[in-house]
Amino acid sequence: MTRKRPVTFNHNPLLVKGMPAWRPRLVLLVLLGCSLTLVARAGYLQGFNKDFLQAKGESRYSRVIPVPATRGRITDRNGDVVAVSTPVRSIWAIPADARLSPADTRKLAALLELDVPELNLRLDSERDFVYLRRQLSPEVARKVAELGLPGIHQNQEYRRYYPGGEVMAHVVGFTGADDEGQEGMELAFDEQLKGRPGSRRVIRDRRGKIVEDVESIRPPHDGQDIALAMDNKIQFLAYSALRHAIQLHQAKAGAVVVLDARTGEVLALVNAPTFNPNNRASLSGAQLRNRVLTDVFEPGSTMKPFIGALALESGKFRPDTVIDTDPGRMAIGRAVISDVRPHGVLTVSQVIQKSSNVGTVKMAMNFAPADMWRMFDTLGFGAPLDLGFPGEVGGHLRPAKSWKPIEQATMAFGHGISATLVQMARAYLAFARDGELLPLSLTRVEAVPPQGVRVFSAATARAMRAMLELAAGPGGTAPKAQITGYRVAGKTGTAHKLEGGRYANKYVSSFVGLAPASNPRLVVAVMIDEPSAGQHYGGAVAAPVFARIMEGALHALGVAPDGPLVPLQVADTIEREEPTKGSM
């Protein structure tokens, strides 16, 4: 029997047939081509398109973070700081990384003064970034950092601090959580104060902590400092005097403004009620209102001197021109205008001194409505003064062509026209500066004051100062405006308030005056809203406030006396100007 020879692997018939020579070469070429492609791609990415890969890589660890700029300081005219930024910390989180235990959550919530549910709600956000608490003190922020919680981070910010508190509140205003101006000068000069933030590149680890400061991309530019025209001493003096008057007369509100007659600078601006800009937890609209610039009122008899000046300027009247005011009232159409009591025959000077409505109207009716309107317009009534302060209003002055005779008459003694307290103070600059009217400034005037506008001749302004000195002296409506050592000139105002289209039994008491009368340095305007303790005439309510502020301010500025250096005995009974009423 023939045995078959076994076939081994080496002698497998399938191997006898040779493989085509082109196949290994093809495989080799394919493999070599792929390798070259990979090398070329790597060379392209690393040599020609590296920016993309670098950006992707850096996005894993490199961050550009903002560098806040320090907000500029606000100072008074003497360099005393009234607003400054202090460093604080803000706590923020990356919700996806903030996986906290219940115990850690309670500790963090206690430090941040948050409820645990509220904190959990913020940490459950789907956003990549959430603030947990802003403007924390460095001490509290340090305690948060010591917890070492994942996903919880800190940034440095700045919080505004106001050393002047309630005294400077309405002037300076305040900033919000993002250190941006919200009210007052903080808002008016926000662009100059806030500066420009910078940026820097840093490397962070996977937990978000900065491990290396790489470079500064753009340095921050701190904000500019702003020097106000206000004087802290005079501001506090005005604040104290106004607050005392509000309490004494149980008034609803009040306001004071003090002007430098030489430069037009606003040396003090005070309102009541006020607020503390360092603690704004419970503020109301009444507290925030800057009444000096935003509240209008009918100025009453403080408008009479302008009619007297118009009368003198026209040449139709002189200070000693006689006006018969008997029997103390006069009819215009079906309306009757009256004085508080009959004065008989008065000179122009005595009309201002006694605050006679009848005498003032008799002068006013010698002029066309357009003449009165033109004077009021030149004095700045009816339009904002463009002080750059947020919310400033211009009052109300109707076109002359719409005036009826009774309206022209009542405007002569401050009814039917409305103005702000700062407008009244500025208009009295024309008497203080020999007929010239300056623009006002809330910031310090470093150079020569701007050129003013002439409203009255120097002779007319000086004659009116003499009349106003009589009005503020014995026999006038405001002897309580007198101060020891200085001659004072000014005018009272007492006007009924308009409510619901009718005049209510409520009053606005005011006084606008200047001193020293021989060479005025200051103009002070005072307004007390709704005094309710038994007195409401401007001479009894507002004039004493003026006297206290003016006396202290003149001493603070070192102004030389021009009057008797003996205490003045003020009469217990004062002449009262007739309140302006809507229904006659």
Q: Residue with structure tokens 């301010």? A: 553
Beta pairing class for 74-75 and 226-227: parallel
- Secondary structure letter of residue 469 according to DSSP: H
CA angle 287, 288, 289 (to 5 degrees): 95
Of 188, 286, 200, 255, the closest CA to residue 228 belongs to 188
Q: What is the DSSP string of 108-138?
A: HHHHHT--HHHHHHHHT-SSS-EEEEEEE-H
Of 234, 245, 235, the closest CA to residue 542 belongs to 245
Total residues belonging to the chain: 584
- Residues 6 or more apart from 50 whose CB is under 8 A from it? none
491 forms bridges with which residues in the sheet? Answer: 512
Contact predicate 297/278, CB 8 Å:
no
For residue 32, with 0-12 CB atoms within 10 Å meaning exposed, 13-18 middle and 19 or more buried, which class applies? exposed
One of 85, 301, 349, 441 is an active-site residue; which one?
301
- Show the tokens assigned to 250: 């149980």
Alpha helices by DSSP H, listed for 365-501, are 369-378, 405-412, 421-427, 429-432, 458-471
Contact predicate 306/455, CB 8 Å:
no
- Show the tokens assigned to 64: 């550009």
d(CA 445, CA 77): 9
Contact predicate 353/471, CB 8 Å:
yes
CA angle 95, 212, 108 (to 5 degrees): 30
Contact predicate 228/388, CB 8 Å:
no
d(CA 74, CA 193): 8
Contact predicate 420/296, CB 8 Å:
yes
H-run or E-run covering 232: helix 232-248
Catalytic residue check, 356: no
d(CA 402, CA 486): 44
CA 541 vs. chain centroid, Å, equals: 27
Q: So which residues are the catalytic ones?
A: 301
